[in-house]
Amino acid sequence: MSAVEETSTLARRRSFLQVLTGLITAPRFFVYSCCILAALLTCYHLGKDMGWDTLDYHFYAGFSALHDRFGQDYFPAGPQSYLNPYIYAPFYLLVTSGLTALQVALILTAVQAVILWLVYELALTVAPPIKPRTRLAVGVCAVALAFANPVLINELGSSFADLLTAEIVVAGWLLLVRSIRTPSAMRIVFAALLLGGASALKLTNALHAVSAAVLVLFVPGNWRSRLRYAAVFSLSGVVGFGAVAAPWALRLEERFGNPFFPLLNGIFRAPEYTAGPAISYRFIPVSLLDALWRPFAMIVPRVLIHAEWAAPDMRYALLLLVAALSVAAWAWKRFYGNGVSAEERTRDGAARALVALGVAFLFDWSFWLTASGNSRYFIPMGCVAAVLAIVLIFQLCAERPKLRNYLLIVIFAVQFFQLGFGAEYPGRAAWTGEPWLQVYVPQSLATEPGLYFSVGIQSNSFIALHLAQGSGFINLEGDYTLGPEGANGRRIQSMIRRYSPHLGVVIPDERHDPRQYAGMQSAVVTVNDALEPFGLQVDIGHCARIIVRGTTTPVTPVYTGKEPPKPRLSPAEAGIGYFSSCRVVPETKREPAVVADEASANIALNHLEDACPALFQPRRQATFHVGDSTHGYLWVRRYANTDMTAWVSHGWVHFQRFIDGTKEGSAGRESDWEKGPLPVSCGRGTDGYFLRVIKSH
Q: What pLDDT score was predicted for residue 557?
A: 41
pLDDT band at residue 563 using 50, 70 and 90 as cut-offs: very low
Q: What pLDDT score was predicted for residue 549?
A: 87
Looking at the predicted structure, is the pLDDT value of residue 25 above 70? no
Mean pLDDT of 505-509: 89
Using one digit for the tens of pLDDT, what is the confidence trace for 385-418? 999 999 999 999 988 989 999 999 999 999 999 9
Q: What pLDDT score was predicted for residue 594?
A: 76
Q: Is residue 3 part of a domain?
A: no
* Same domain assignment for residues 135 and 158: yes
- Of the listed ranges 387-391, 424-428, 519-523, 680-684, the least confidently predicted one is 519-523
Using one digit for the tens of pLDDT, what is the confidence trace for 580-598? 899 999 987 777 777 788 8
* Same domain assignment for residues 445 and 377: no
Q: What pLDDT score was predicted for residue 554?
A: 43
* Same domain assignment for residues 451 and 335: no
* Same domain assignment for residues 244 and 367: yes
Check: CB of residue 201 under 8 Å from CB of residue 88.
no
Q: Is residue 78 part of a domain?
A: no
Q: Is residue 12 part of a domain?
A: no
* Same domain assignment for residues 347 and 211: yes
Looking at the predicted structure, is the pLDDT value of residue 568 above 50? no
Q: DSSP of 9-63, one letter per residue? A: HHHHHHHHHHHHHHHHHSHHHHHHHHHHHHHHHHHHHH-EE--HHIIIIIHHHHH
Q: 379 or 558: whose pLDDT is higher?
A: 379
> Residue 661's domain spans which residues?
592-693
Q: What pLDDT score was predicted for residue 696?
A: 66
Q: What pLDDT score was predicted for residue 32?
A: 95
Give the end of a domain, one of 571, 586, 601: 586
Mean pLDDT of 7-17: 61
- Scored b (16 or more CB within 10 A) or e, 248-276 reads bbeebbeebebbbbbbebeebebebbbeb
Looking at the predicted structure, is the pLDDT value of residue 272 above 70? yes
pLDDT band at residue 492 using 50, 70 and 90 as cut-offs: very high
Query: What's the pTM?
Result: 0.90
Q: Is residue 313 part of a domain?
A: yes
- The length of the chain in residues reads 697
* Same domain assignment for residues 385 and 442: no
Q: What pLDDT score was predicted for residue 562?
A: 36
The share of the chain scoring above pLDDT 90, in percent, equals 66
What's the CA gap between 391 and 414, in Å, rounded?
A: 19
Looking at the predicted structure, is the pLDDT value of residue 507 above 70? yes
* Same domain assignment for residues 465 and 569: yes
Q: Is residue 84 part of a domain?
A: no
Q: Is residue 407 part of a domain?
A: yes
Four-CA torsion 499, 500, 502, 508, nearest 10 degrees: 90
Using one digit for the tens of pLDDT, what is the confidence trace for 202-239? 999 999 999 999 999 999 988 888 899 999 999 999 99
* Same domain assignment for residues 181 and 318: yes
Mean pLDDT of 424-438: 89
Check: CB of residue 529 under 8 Å from CB of residue 472.
no
pLDDT band at residue 145 using 50, 70 and 90 as cut-offs: very high
* Same domain assignment for residues 369 and 254: yes
Q: What pLDDT score was predicted for residue 573?
A: 47
Q: 675 or 479: whose pLDDT is higher?
A: 675
Q: How many CB atoms lie within 10 A of CB 294?
A: 19
Asked if residue 533 has a cis previous peptide bond (ω within 30° of 0), the answer is no
pLDDT band at residue 659 using 50, 70 and 90 as cut-offs: confident
The mean pLDDT value of the chain amounts to 88
Give the end of a domain, one of 421, 446, 480: 421
Long-range CB contacts (< 8 A, 24+ apart) of 658-664? 659/282, 659/304, 659/308, 660/303, 660/304, 660/688, 662/688, 662/689
What's the CA gap between 296 and 285, in Å, rounded?
A: 13
Closest by Cα among 633, 620, 624 to 593 = 633
For CA atoms 244, 249, 250, 251, give the dihedral sign.
Answer: positive
Q: Is residue 570 part of a domain?
A: yes
Check: CB of residue 408 under 8 Å from CB of residue 138.
no
The domain tally of the chain equals 3
Check: CB of residue 92 under 8 Å from CB of residue 65.
yes
Using one digit for the tens of pLDDT, what is the confidence trace for 76-112? 999 999 999 999 999 999 999 999 999 999 999 999 9
pLDDT band at residue 14 using 50, 70 and 90 as cut-offs: low
* Same domain assignment for residues 518 and 636: no
Whole-number Cα distances in Å, 62 to 86, 202, 449, 472 = 7, 14, 21, 17
DSSP 3-state helix, strand, coil percentages of the chain (rounded to 5)?
A: 55, 15, 30
Q: What pLDDT score was predicted for residue 444?
A: 87
Q: What pLDDT score was predicted for residue 633?
A: 82
- Of the listed ranges 281-295, 299-313, 506-520, the least confidently predicted one is 506-520
Mean pLDDT of 439-451: 91
pLDDT band at residue 529 using 50, 70 and 90 as cut-offs: confident
Q: Is residue 652 part of a domain?
A: yes
* Same domain assignment for residues 292 and 358: yes
Q: What pLDDT score was predicted for residue 19?
A: 55
DSSP 8-state code for residue 347: T
Whole-number Cα distances in Å, 134 to 123, 321, 358, 369, 400 = 12, 22, 21, 34, 13
The share of the chain scoring above pLDDT 70, in percent, equals 89
Mean pLDDT of 570-574: 44
**What residues are paired with 638 via a beta bridge?**
645
Q: What pLDDT score was predicted for residue 499?
A: 94
Looking at the predicted structure, is the pLDDT value of residue 129 above 90? no
Mean pLDDT of 356-372: 96
- Of the listed ranges 256-265, 275-284, 516-525, 612-621, the least confidently predicted one is 516-525
Give the end of a domain, one of 586, 614, 631: 586
Q: What pLDDT score was predicted for residue 555?
A: 45
* Same domain assignment for residues 351 and 215: yes
